[in-house]
A and B are shown apart, each in its own frame.
Chain A
């Protein structure tokens, strides 16, 4: 008998191996089921809703007819202003934490605060926004107040994503700079930032896609159920996609069945497009890196 023949133990191990493999594979497969069901349902039920008018007209007849134009525009406003507020703050904080801060009790406290900030429920952020931005700073219910509330909420995402991409720049590059007499800022500006910008932008886009779908933080701070005009400044209220979906699904009687599905599909499409842009962007920039 050859010494390389299979034994009973080999065979039983091989059976277990294939069993585990199938089990793990099936569990993983179930993860895409809900996503698939949601997409298929939305596409099927929203049939006939989409037209140019759907995207370009105001809602009519108590929002049971017409389009979603002001909600789309409003969401753009909200996201843009939230970005303007959160990105500079988030990136600055991440640069400080990654490149300047030493490991002290204060730094650790700040890191803890960031993690906890990410865990605060959005309804709590919403109420904080009402207290802080609407009432205390007297911005009223406005795009400004709503966007700042979302900015505070998404700040941890920006900080963590930025800090991680800064940390991904190899330390020897920094040492090379310091040993030539570069200050920290010269090192950051000339070497670290150019090499981490792809990661930072990816984080920013992910933040945007999160912001697009948020409802709670804007519903008390700046988003309106219905407005017959577009906002003209950050001090105006605005309609928004997420709140619009909530309203026509639950608050308005006699809405044609396809309409909420159409709005939901549009919302998901925006998020998916943004995520794909983010992934494509990352892949592109990663291909250009050479170290």
Chain B
């Protein structure tokens, strides 16, 4: 299993956002998380790379294992956790530096030696090719990344994670700020990355979950209601709540 949580609960102050969540996410697959706003999908995502803990009012209980290693253990280095578990956000947050520097940003954070120019060029090209962006931006790598279109920015946000060789990519509604055409382009890209990376993707878009994931998790009020193969969930949901949500009866 790529990600495995056992009895994971989380509180924002007095408010409990996750209740005893047991989940297993398979390696190399795309798992989507669906559920109404505030059901704890994003919270769950942010617990995996422990970014939630930056707020002092957040308290967690239970275990999170990534590739068999306890990421909640005392001796875990948070910088390593975040380096190996990449996160993509709702609104593309390309950094206001050049496209090239965006791709190299993570790499430079985590290397002690200065990389040769050739090696850097190589990393930049590899990452940008992987996200199908190379041909569009290869002649303007020095441009400020925030001048790219949202679709390109979001692809860049994925590309800049790749040189750090993450094994897990967490995506928090990666297409919700994009128009339909861009959404489909980014979805294609995510599908393209399947197999090499374990991808956990939160989405509000039912159609997206359906066409672009192997397994699907339905959450409601901080609890996991159902977790099965995606096609199964959409064809024969095992719970009434799931069926109601999928059919748009609440959300």
Question: Which chain A residues have a beta carbon within 8 Å of chain B's beta carbons?
Answer: 102, 172-173, 175-183, 186, 190-191, 194-195, 289-291
Given contacts A179-B51, A180-B105, A180-B161, contact A290 B144 (CB under 8 A): yes
> In the complex, which residue of chain A has the Cβ closest to the Cβ of B166?
A180
Contacts of B87 in A (CB 8 A): 179
A-B contact pairs, 12 of them (CB 8 A): A172-B93, A173-B96, A176-B89, A178-B51, A178-B82, A179-B82, A180-B83, A180-B105, A180-B161, A191-B95, A290-B96, A290-B147
Are A178 and B54 within 8 A (Cβ)? yes
Q: Nearest 3 pairs between A and B by C-beta?
A: A172-B93, A181-B82, A181-B83
* Cβ contacts B89-119/A at 8 Å (1 or 0 each): 1010111110000000110011000000000
Contacts of A291 in B (CB 8 A): 96, 146
Are A173 and B51 within 8 A (Cβ)? no
Contacts of A182 in B (CB 8 A): 109
* A130 and B50 alpha carbons, distance in the complex (Å): 52
Are A175 and B109 within 8 A (Cβ)? no
Are B96 and A186 within 8 A (Cβ)? no
* Cβ contacts B155-171/A at 8 Å (1 or 0 each): 00100110010000000
| CB of B201, distance to nearest CB on chain A (Å) | 15
Q: Which of B51, B82, B161 has the most CB of A within 10 A?
A: B82
| CB of B211, distance to nearest CB on chain A (Å) | 27
Contacting A at CB under 8 A, from B28-57, are 49, 51, 54, 56
Interface residue from A173, A175, A181, A195 paired with B80 (Cβ < 8 Å): A181
Interface residue from A177, A181, A194, A290 paired with B110 (Cβ < 8 Å): A181
* A290 and B99 alpha carbons, distance in the complex (Å): 13
Interface residue from A172, A194, A289 paired with B89 (Cβ < 8 Å): A172
Flag whether B222 is at the interface (Cβ < 8 A): no
Contacts of A183 in B (CB 8 A): 79
Flag whether B86 is at the interface (Cβ < 8 A): yes
Given contacts A102-B56, A195-B96, contact A180 B109 (CB under 8 A): yes
Interface residue from A175, A186, A195 paired with B93 (Cβ < 8 Å): A175
Are B79 and A181 within 8 A (Cβ)? yes
Given contacts A191-B95, A291-B96, contact A180 B146 (CB under 8 A): no
Contacts of A181 in B (CB 8 A): 78-83, 106, 109-110, 164
> In the complex, which residue of chain A has the Cβ closest to the Cβ of B157?
A176
> In the complex, which residue of chain B has the Cβ closest to the Cβ of A184?
B54
